[in-house]
Amino acid sequence: MTTPSLNFVTCPDAQGSHRMAYWQWGDASAAHVVLCVHGLSRQGRDFDVLAQALVARSPVPLRVVCPDVVGRGRSDWLAQPMAYQIPTYAADMLALLAQLHAQAAVATLDWVGTSMGGLIAMAICGTPEAPLPVPVRKLVLNDVGPVVQWQFIERLRSYLGKTGFFATQQAAADALWAISSTFGPHTPEQWLALSIPMLKAHSTPQGEGWTLHYDPAIAEPVRASTPEAAAQGEAVLWHLYDHITAQTLLLRGQSSDLLAPATAQAMQARGPKARLLEFAGVGHAPTLVAADQVAAVVGFLFG
């Protein structure tokens, strides 16, 4: 399988409901599900390389499910920008898992969460009463923890919400690379493959082109954040992290400006006592495209 199927789930919200898109790889009836959830301004096709490797190397039939978090990719945009926060995303993931379980009973559930996708995982896995079909067995937190460095938030504010207009897909990929070089080395082909799903066709009086495939309003909660609010959030996230029971692998870009070494060390000592694996020459966040990064996830989930 070289392309996933596109599916949708209806999620309730204060305005009624919205649709969340998700990409599914592998066997739609498989009892083993791996949920892969992307970062703040990304989308589910980020996991194409990893998903194909997981399906190919799994010892049992496998479903890999990669949602476009609401406001991104093929999912709806929310009417209320301040709803673009973790509680909304967590509720949507629970709705998705309930739908998957209704379609084919889930017996084994693993989670790979990059950045924001890891925060969503902590919110759910750290809440014992969360209505999951089964508890999460293995959790991969990709360059994220309970403490998000404030300098990262300041860097994020410099570009988040600026969806732009690009004459060609290559021009868009080049612009994305300018703000994403911390992802580490990629070949031009790898970067273009990661970039194309980030784009949607866009018409202007000046002509046809491309723009980034997310709602610019996802930036509003980030702009509204303060160091004081972030510190309060850290306490909540540590509480959630300490209640995680899943076997946990923590991936870290050695040059990450989001996940500090001290936070990573603390995550090894408390809660699920995550096993830490760092990647040299990479910042925030590993894209799980490089062979060593893919092998780390595959080995952990199937080991």
Domains of the chain (ranges; CATH) run: 5-151+226-302 (3.40.50.1820), 162-213 (no CATH)
Q: What is the pLDDT of residue 1?
A: 66
Q: What is the pLDDT of residue 49?
A: 98
Q: What string of pLDDT tens digits covers the 303 residues of the chain?
A: 679 999 999 999 988 999 999 999 999 999 999 999 999 999 999 999 999 999 999 999 999 999 999 999 999 999 999 999 999 999 999 999 999 999 999 999 999 999 999 999 999 999 999 999 999 999 999 999 999 999 999 999 999 999 999 999 999 999 999 999 999 999 999 999 999 999 999 988 878 999 999 999 999 999 999 999 999 999 999 999 999 999 999 999 999 999 999 999 999 999 999 999 999 999 999 999 999 999 999 999 999
Q: What is the pLDDT of residue 182?
A: 94
Q: What is the pLDDT of residue 109?
A: 98
Q: What is the pLDDT of residue 207?
A: 86
Q: What is the DSSP string of the chain?
A: --SPEEEEEEEEETTEEEEEEEEEEE-TT-SEEEEEE--TT--GGGGHHHHHHHHHH-SS-EEEEEEE-TTBTTSPPPSSGGG-SHHHHHHHHHHHHHHHHHHS---EEEEEEETHHHHHHHHHHT-TT---SS-EEEEEEES--S---HHHHHHHHTTTT----BSSHHHHHHHHHHHHGGG----HHHHHHHHGGGEEEEEETTEEEEEESB-GGGGHHHHH--HHHHHHHHHHHHHHHHT--SEEEEEEETT-SSS-HHHHHHHHHSTT-PEEEEETT--S---S-SHHHHHHHHHHHH-
Q: What is the pLDDT of residue 205?
A: 82
Q: What is the pLDDT of residue 206?
A: 75
